[in-house]
Amino acid sequence: MASHYEAPIRKPLVTGDKTYHDVTVDIARPVEGKANKMWWIVFSISLVAFLWGLGSMIYTVSVGIGTWGLNKTVGWAWDITNFVWWVGIGHAGTLISAVLLLFRQKWRMAINRSAEAMTIFSVVQAGLFPIIHMGRPWLGYWVMPIPNQFGSLWVNFNSPLLWDVFAISTYLSVSLVFWWTGLLPDFAMLRDRAVKPFQKKIYSLVSFGWSGRAKDWQRFEEVSLVLAGLATPLVLSVHTIVSFDFATSVIPGWHTTIFPPYFVAGAIFSGFAMVNTLLIIMRKVCNFEDYITIQHIELMNIVIMITGSIVGCAYITELFVAWYSGVEYEQYAFLNRATGPYAWAYWMMMTCNVFSPQFMWIKKARRSIMFSFIISLVVNVGMWFERFVIIVTSLHRDYLPSSWTMFSPTFVDIGIYIGTIGFFFVLFLLYARTFPVIAQAEVKSILKSSGEKYKKLRDNNSNHNHNE
């Protein structure tokens, strides 16, 4: 023990006197046990919401986009708002697993699995919108550059909407592979513990015959590092590309160079808020308080605070540049945001995104589970409004006053959004019952360096050494 140096200032990441076996048992418990009544209730609600959303999507596709509240001026509203919102939420997962891995943050170990699951499930939700908001979604395959009988008619690679296709599909596939490779040792653990033949078969299939040999582990680590190195620029570029949908346009309020970093910051901001929301519930429901400690929540709150401040800076920058630009259209765009018919949405966004994360400067607030839960919800509401404000307020009043109009969603717009939330939770709830929601292999790798038991041991030891 004495040979290992760990700064005494670092707080334990695994509390309770956990052994390796305890970690296994704790993490396998939700998978091996039966779902309780509460799970079924929540699952049913989510499923109903999902089916309702599915109905709305089928209605939209079969009847037409006119069932939505869009009009000739505002051609993008809830669809793209929700798309960007879900993509943004999906970013925290990869950030936690990739960026924090590059920075060797040990606290990511307990949360990365669920964060990545959240990434994948929310990117799936996001992926729905580019398809269902198409007028003719059955020709959606035309966005792919596939050799064809139209004289090999090709796509134009100049549109950010095409880049979106590549960005989102690459992001989903890389995240999925990254997530799944990380799952192999954990599935193998479940496989080895399974007593029922069916579960044994399933976990044998999904664990790809992982046997945990030294060579396997060595390559596993290398792959994780390489994927983390690839996923990090991916995270930044994916949301950048999403922001290009707006930033490359000529619409006042959209045409801004600040969008790429600002959207990414917003994505991390909202993504962490979502992770926080989910994990606060999960640690309670699955009895993971010893793994997802208050320390984890505090660190996530700090990330929320930092990214929230970056977003706040971006808002101020936009306002400054609008004033400084001398372009009356741009000045009006921001005046319209703050005082126009959608001022309520703007101020909602400002309150939720700029003011609420500032409470996290107070230690008592960021270490309060209840408070951080509420703030995370507020942040996600705020970030939804951020996308809504950017999209709708810029479109509904731009160059020609004769084209000014208003936007209000129909029940189909809302139904689809609720449906994606339902779908997300259906997937997440199923995941929580069948997947090892904490990366046990990784937690075990930090147990002896950051476990409470071993920290105490080390403290006593070093005190002892000093006394000698």
Partner 1 sequence: MKNIVKIALFSSVSLLLVSCFNKREPNYQFMPNMYESVGYETYQESVAFKDSMQAQLPVQGSIKRGWKPYDYPDTPAGLLLAKEELKNPLLADSLNITSNTEAGKALYDIYCAVCHGAEGNGKGILVERGKFAGVPSYGDKNRVITQGGTYHVIYYGLNAMGSYASQINEKERWQVALYVEKLRNELVK
Q: Whose Cβ is closer to partner 1: residue 7's or residue 139's?
A: 139
Which region among 64-72, 131-139, 336-344, 413-421 touches partner 1 (by CB under 8 A)?
A: 131-139
Binding residues for partner 1, rule CB under 8 A, total 3
- Which tokens in the block code for residue 448? 């002896």
Q: Where are the alpha helices (DSSP H) in 133-196?
A: 160-193
Cross-strand partners of 451 = 14
Q: Which of 97, 334, 132, 106 is nearest to 230 (CA)?
A: 97
Q: Whose Cβ is closer to partner 1: residue 140's or residue 341's?
A: 140
Q: Whose Cβ is closer to partner 1: residue 151's or residue 326's?
A: 151
Q: Whose Cβ is closer to partner 1: residue 63's or residue 327's?
A: 63
CB of 205 to partner 1, least distance (A): 20
Answer for the pair 458, 1: CB distance below 8 angstroms, yes or no: yes
Q: Whose Cβ is closer to partner 1: residue 135's or residue 197's?
A: 135
Number of H helices, E strands in the chain: 18, 0
Which amino acid, residue 264? Answer: V
Which residues within the stretch 150-209 sit at the binding site for partner 1 (CB under 8 A)?
Answer: none
Which region among 5-13, 23-31, 136-144, 258-266 touches partner 1 (by CB under 8 A)?
A: 136-144
Binding mask 83-122 for partner 1 (x = CB under 8 A): ----------------------------------------
Which residues within the stretch 381-440 sit at the binding site for partner 1 (CB under 8 A)?
Answer: none
- 136 forms part of the interface with partner 1 (CB under 8 A): yes
CB of 13 to partner 1, least distance (A): 50
CB of 154 to partner 1, least distance (A): 19
Question: What does the buried/exposed string (b/e) look like for 413-437 if buried means 16 or more CB atoms within 10 Å of the residue's CB?
Answer: bbbbbbbbbbbbbbbbbebbbebbb
Answer for the pair 76, 242: CB distance below 8 angstroms, yes or no: no
The CA-to-CA distance between both ends of the chain, in Å, stands at 16
Residue 213 has a CB neighbour count (10 Å cut-off) of 9
Residue 312 sits at the vertex; the CA angle it makes with 346 and 263, to the nearest 5 degrees, is 85
Which region among 5-13, 132-140, 236-244, 268-276 touches partner 1 (by CB under 8 A)?
A: 132-140
Binding site for partner 1 (CB under 8 A): 136, 138-139
